[in-house]
Amino acid sequence: MQTLFRSEQGGHEQVVLCQDRRSGLKAVIAIHSTALGPALGGTRFHAYADHALPEEAATLDALNLARGMSYKNAMAGLEHGGGKAVIIGDPDILKSEELLLAYGRFISSLGGRYVTACDVGTYVQDMDVVARECRWTTGRSPENGGAGDSSVLTSFGVFQGMRASAQRLWGAPTLRDRTVGVAGVGKVGRLLVDLLVEDGAEVVVTDVREESVDRVRATHPQVTVAASTEALIRTEGLDVYAPCALGGALDDTTVPALTAKAVCGAANNQLAHPGVEKDLADRGILYAPDYVVNAGGVIQVADELHGFDFARAKEKATKIYDTTLEIFQRAADDGVPPAVAADRIAEQRMAAARG
């Protein structure tokens, strides 16, 4: 409740707690802002089993993620505000058609204030089920009129942000002959590795799931594997670190240990707490704000609402390169870290829309 009503961290318009005893559904839907349009953001399905109070952890996650979506959608130039939903539980155990249909009915009851899509733990086929009860669903399969897996343009957008980082640091928009460490090679990280290898980068990967690493190595046997994220961030000669798993990757332990000259990855909410962005800047590490560079996915699912055209969506995602460079320049001009510069630009856009 404190987070919800504290404007600097919350300021949310609406939070809905959902429960369907028959299916076992417990979910939180958080709408941060509709200033630019209906709130748009994915559905996370996660157990929070490592927390003493999973429901509270899930609610806090939904609030933080929804706020991040407001900023992401504003920076992506979308006519959407920010929202996020979290279904609480282990998707491997709890997920069912009945649960997803019940969830769809809850979203539908909001009357279009919130538009959902895939996120961690949910997939295209899940959105097809949700859409049977809710027309405000994106990220559906092409067979059902959707755009398919948003990971494609999410990884593409991160790659554009990485190219902008390379341009800023080394004067050329390429990762050729640079060493890039990717932590988390699931849906997005794996596709990012494809783009990096194609660009001529040396890639080091790690993931808690051995099968995810094996899948990458089967396609790219030249990729190096680090034993853990802790080992990856300490890799000598690392040029770019790409956190592509869950949030909080940059904290008081990892930042001092980083050997990379830039951080640019797909994970949401990478900064564990306020002040980390300054710690990165003080160490001379260029940080590409996560919600800017990982916006390719939301650009893709937003386009679906207007009759999906992949070429049109990809063209818009390509602009992440220019947006990232704009943020770096604004940060230099204002004498602030890039994360602060990005927040200022997004807040100005939302304030103008409210006005």
**Is residue 163 within 8 Å of 174, Cβ to Cβ?**
yes
For β-strands 81-88 and 240-243, DSSP reports them as unpaired
- Please give the helix or strand (H or E) that residue 300 lies within, else none: helix 296-304
Please indicate whether residue 84 is annotated as part of the active site. yes
> From the centroid of its chain, how far is CA 198?
23
Q: Which of 196, 329, 338 is nearest to 263 (CA)?
A: 338
195/83 Cα distance (integer angstroms): 29
User: From the CB of residue 163, how many other CB atoms can be counted at a distance below 10 Å?
Assistant: 21
125/197 Cα distance (integer angstroms): 29
- Please give the helix or strand (H or E) that residue 5 lies within, else none: helix 2-5
Task: Give the list of residues 6+ apart from residue 275 with CB closer than 8 angstroms, or none.
Answer: none
**Is residue 135 within 8 Å of 108, Cβ to Cβ?**
yes
72, 84, 95, 316: the catalytic one is 84
285/233 Cα distance (integer angstroms): 13
246-255 residues labelled b (16+ CB within 10 A) or e (exposed): ebbbbeeebb
337/330 Cα distance (integer angstroms): 9
The residues assigned a catalytic role are: 84
